[in-house]
Structure formats: C-alpha cells, structure tokens
Amino acid sequence: MAQEGKSVVVYEAQENIGGGARSAELTFPGFVHDVCSAVYPLGIGSPFFRSLPLARHGLEWIQPPAAVAHPFDDGTAVTQERSVETTAAQLGSDEKSYLKLMAPLVAAWDGLDIDLLGPLRPPRHPWNLARFGLLGIQPARRLAESRFQGERAKGLFAGVAAHSMLPLEHWCSAAFGLVLGIAGHSVGWPIARGGAQKLSDALATHLRSLGGEIIPNRPVRSLSELPASRVVLCDVTPRQLLEIAGDHFSPRYLEKLRRYRYGMGAFKMDWALSGPVPWTAAECKRAATVHLGGTLEEIAYSERSAWRGESAERPFVLLAQPSLFDSSRAPEGQHTLWGYCHVPHGSTSDMAARIENQIQRFAPGFKDLIVGRSLMPPNELEKHNGNLIGGDINGGAADLRQLFFRPTLKMYATSVKGLYLCSASTPPGGGVHGMCGYFAARKALREMF
C-alpha cells in the first residue's frame, strides 16, 4: 500500500514488531533465539520479498550447504542438498524415483512460485501447475509409498511434508512436502544473519522509508479504536477478527468465520548450549534444519497422534541450529538451538523431556551440553502473539477445505467494504513470505482506490 503512495499506519499489539519473525535473548544475554520462525525457504522464495530492497535495510540470508538433514537410527543421515542429483544419489534404489519426482518441478519453480504462493486463480503456467496439483493433492504418505521403496527417501519426504501440520494420510499434505522440497533445491532453506528479527526490521525500515508509521504496544480490540481510513487490513485470524469487527459483519459471513477451524499446536523450545550438537551422523552439521523422527511410519504416527488429541512418546521434532552458520547468535564457542514438535490444539502437556530425548537419540551427549532452556507451550505462544490460537502456527488448519479458500470463499475480503484480512488465515497460508499481505493489498488497491 505504501509503495503505491498510500499513507499507512501499523498498529502492533506487542512491544516489538515482527510477529512470527522476532528474536530475543530467551535464555541468557548474548544468546539470540528466534522466538517463532527461524528458517526461510518461503521468505527467500517469496516473489514479493524479492521485489523489496531488504538487503539494503540489513537483511542477509545465510545458506547452509544443505537445506535439511534427516538422521536415522543406524547413525547415518540423508541431506537435502541444493543439487537434486546429489540428494538423489544418497537414496539408494530410490535415486531414479527421486529424480523423476523432483527434477521437473524444480526446473519449473521459477514461475510456478507465483502460482503456488497465492490464491487460486488462472495460472500463469497451467501445465506446470496441473502437474504439481496432481501430485500435491495426494496424502503425503500415499505419494511417498507409491514413489519410494526405501526408508531413507520415504523418511526425508515425510519430514518435509509434516510441516503441513496435517496427518500424512490427509489429502493435500503432499503439497507441503513438494513445495518445501522444491524450494530446498531451488532457493535453499536459509536463515537470517543476526536472527529472524533482522527480516522484520528490514521490512519495517522499508515501510518507514516510504513514509509509513508503526505504533507498537497498541492492541486493537475494536474497529472504533482506529482513525478514519479508506482501508483497514487486519493481520489477525478469524477469531480475533470476530472480536474486533464482529458487530459489523453480515450474519452469513459471521457464521462462516465462526466455522473456521484451527489446527494442531506447537510446543516450542530454545536452548543455550556449551557446544554444537554432537550428531552421530556428521552430515547433520551441513544443514541449519534437522528433522528428527527417522522413518515415515514414526513421523506419520506422531502427526496423527497430535491431530487426534494425543501426544506421541516420540514426537517428530523440527530443529534448527543457526549458530553453526551464524556466529552472531551466541558467545564464542557456545551455541543456540531452536526446536518444536506438533501437539494437540491448546495442549498443556509438557513435551520438554520427550523433545530432548529425541535429540539425544540422534546425538548422544546432547543433554550434557545444555546450559539453559526456554519452553513455550501453546498457551505461552498465544500470549506472546495473539495469532497463534491454541499454538497453531499456520493461522488455521490447511486441510483440503481450507487450503484454497481461507478463511471463507471471500478470502481477503470481508462482508464490510474496505475491511480486509491479510494474515496466514488467507491464501497461501502459514509461513513467513509476505504473500498473504501482498494479495490482500492488491485487492484493496483495486477495490478501494
């Protein structure tokens, strides 16, 4: 909106701007932890972010040699490398199948990205999108089991697909494995030098350079608290929108918003360590992101349990080790570690010991290195950021019904003229990529100016 010359004011509930992309010294001074997001395949791959001068405002992406590492109980690991061929070469008898699945999609990413990271609309590249759609609509488990024979390829794909926060037996869960997998080969899974906050700070600096204003510590509880303006864009989920503007909506729209469904939550942990994680498989040191769960079977069980309201004894753990690649994150010789597992929506179970056991399983000696830890169960996450309802980090379940049309068929528009939604509860959904805001702003510009 600001780039189009409109005057913009941002009201932010918290003291610091950034929402899901913030950093803080959660354990000790000198240890910079990413409070929510930490790794940015969709950030670097975002067509909108790419169009902004973020590097000039201090954002520097760091690309670890590999996107993801996935260790197994036999002491080995598979890494998703930038090269499709080098990745496939680690997969034994599944080498050809991996190449056949990924290579054409990776070749098509440039162009497919704008079709995938946005609402359903006439595609720019119909053939590539159709090819992606036929694969992506499948349950991740079915796609992995129909394409691969070995545990290494199936496990690698399951770990990436589990970012969907859906059971791997659910329709469309394969789409997440494919989008993030293709991004891993095409643009990498980078971290931001200095922490997630640097990305938000760069966005804020750009907005201010265009004349925009940011007012922190200003939770908006009702539309009546806002100054008169032609357009209001709400970066909130449907539940908050009902509180803020419910009185203004048509009964039909109200009903639809009320029926919006949230998904499972996250149990987030951060550690200060006296040394790097002592992985059994040395390959794990090549990636900032490490997926802990071994086989497809174990990962699928963990995700199914969380969806059903149970906490798995061996949860699938998503880990990031930014200080291995960015020395500004911790005092010399020491390290930060970031991780979470999926838990039932709003769960109050303490998953700390189970998460640490999973790390210890693939890195014996890990527990001896812990000098500090921070825990954020779903209710803490929600306190820290009102958008994380019940710990749901995606702004609502991204299942078949809500993947394309979220939160309602109107998507960014509401039943009130000039009032729009622009959060992860709109397409293309969760992740730090700015595309929800980009498409919401385009719609508002078209309709209101």
C-alpha span between 91 and 81 (Å, rounded): 12
Q: Which of 129, 290, 432, 440 binds ligand FAD (CB under 6 A)?
A: 432
Kindly state whether residue 13 participates in binding ligand FAD, applying the rule CB under 6 A: yes
C-alpha span between 360 and 322 (Å, rounded): 18
Kindly state whether residue 381 participates in binding ligand FAD, applying the rule CB under 6 A: yes
Token readout for 380 is 């803490």
In angstroms, give the least distance from the CB of 314 to ligand FAD: 20
Quick one: which H or E segment has residue 291? strand 287-292
In angstroms, give the least distance from the CB of 441 to ligand FAD: 13
Kindly state whether residue 394 participates in binding ligand FAD, applying the rule CB under 6 A: yes
Give how far the C-alpha of residue 337 lies from the chain's centroid of Cα atoms, to the nearest Å.
17
41 or 123: CB nearest ligand FAD: 41
Q: Please, which residues have CB within 8 angstroms of residue 442's CB and are 6 or more apart in sequence?
A: none
42 or 413: CB nearest ligand FAD: 42
> Contact, 321 vs 286, CB < 8 A?
no
In the window 256-285, what residues touch ligand FAD (CB under 6 A)? 266, 268
In angstroms, give the least distance from the CB of 200 to ligand FAD: 8
Kindly state whether residue 8 participates in binding ligand FAD, applying the rule CB under 6 A: no
Kindly state whether residue 379 participates in binding ligand FAD, applying the rule CB under 6 A: no
Residue 431, classed as helix, strand or coil, is: coil
In the window 288-347, what residues touch ligand FAD (CB under 6 A)? 340
Residue 192 zone, left/alpha/beta (φ > 0; ψ -120 to 50; rest) = beta
In angstroms, give the least distance from the CB of 435 to ligand FAD: 10
12 or 283: CB nearest ligand FAD: 12
C-alpha span between 144 and 181 (Å, rounded): 13
C-alpha span between 256 and 45 (Å, rounded): 32
In angstroms, give the least distance from the CB of 384 to ligand FAD: 8
Question: How many Å from the N-terminal Cα to the C-terminal Cα in the chain?
Answer: 11
Kindly state whether residue 387 participates in binding ligand FAD, applying the rule CB under 6 A: yes
Residue with tokens 């109050």, as numbered in its chain: 348
Write out the E strands in 193-248.
213-215, 232-234
Kindly state whether residue 405 participates in binding ligand FAD, applying the rule CB under 6 A: no
Length of the chain: 449
Token readout for 132 is 């992606």
Kindly state whether residue 63 participates in binding ligand FAD, applying the rule CB under 6 A: no
> Contact, 230 vs 314, CB < 8 A?
no
Q: Give the CA distances from residue 19 to residues 82, 337, 382, 424, in Å, rounded to whole numbers and listed in that order.
A: 29, 20, 11, 12
Residue with tokens 């992101």, as numbered in its chain: 289
21 or 300: CB nearest ligand FAD: 21
Kindly state whether residue 393 participates in binding ligand FAD, applying the rule CB under 6 A: yes
Kindly state whether residue 47 participates in binding ligand FAD, applying the rule CB under 6 A: no
Number of residues that bind ligand FAD (CB under 6 A): 34
156 or 233: CB nearest ligand FAD: 233
Kindly state whether residue 195 participates in binding ligand FAD, applying the rule CB under 6 A: no
Kindly state whether residue 140 participates in binding ligand FAD, applying the rule CB under 6 A: no
* HSE toward the beta carbon, residue 55, CA cutoff 13 A: 6
143 or 179: CB nearest ligand FAD: 179
Q: Which of 24, 32, 39, 231 binds ligand FAD (CB under 6 A)?
A: 39
Site string for ligand FAD, 221-260 (x = CB under 6 A): --------------xx---x--------------------
In angstroms, give the least distance from the CB of 391 to ligand FAD: 8
Least Cα distance to 105 among 129, 139, 126 occurs for 129
Kindly state whether residue 180 participates in binding ligand FAD, applying the rule CB under 6 A: no
Kindly state whether residue 36 participates in binding ligand FAD, applying the rule CB under 6 A: yes
Kindly state whether residue 3 participates in binding ligand FAD, applying the rule CB under 6 A: no
Residue with tokens 């994150």, as numbered in its chain: 329
Give how far the C-alpha of residue 127 lies from the chain's centroid of Cα atoms, to the nearest Å.
27
In angstroms, give the least distance from the CB of 274 to ligand FAD: 24
Q: Which of 53, 126, 219, 309 binds ligand FAD (CB under 6 A)?
A: 219
C-alpha span between 390 and 219 (Å, rounded): 19
C-alpha span between 251 and 115 (Å, rounded): 33
Q: Please give the residue ranges that form the binding site for ligand FAD (CB under 6 A).
A: 11-14, 19-21, 36-40, 42, 219-220, 235-236, 240, 266, 268, 340, 381, 385-388, 393-395, 423-424, 430-432
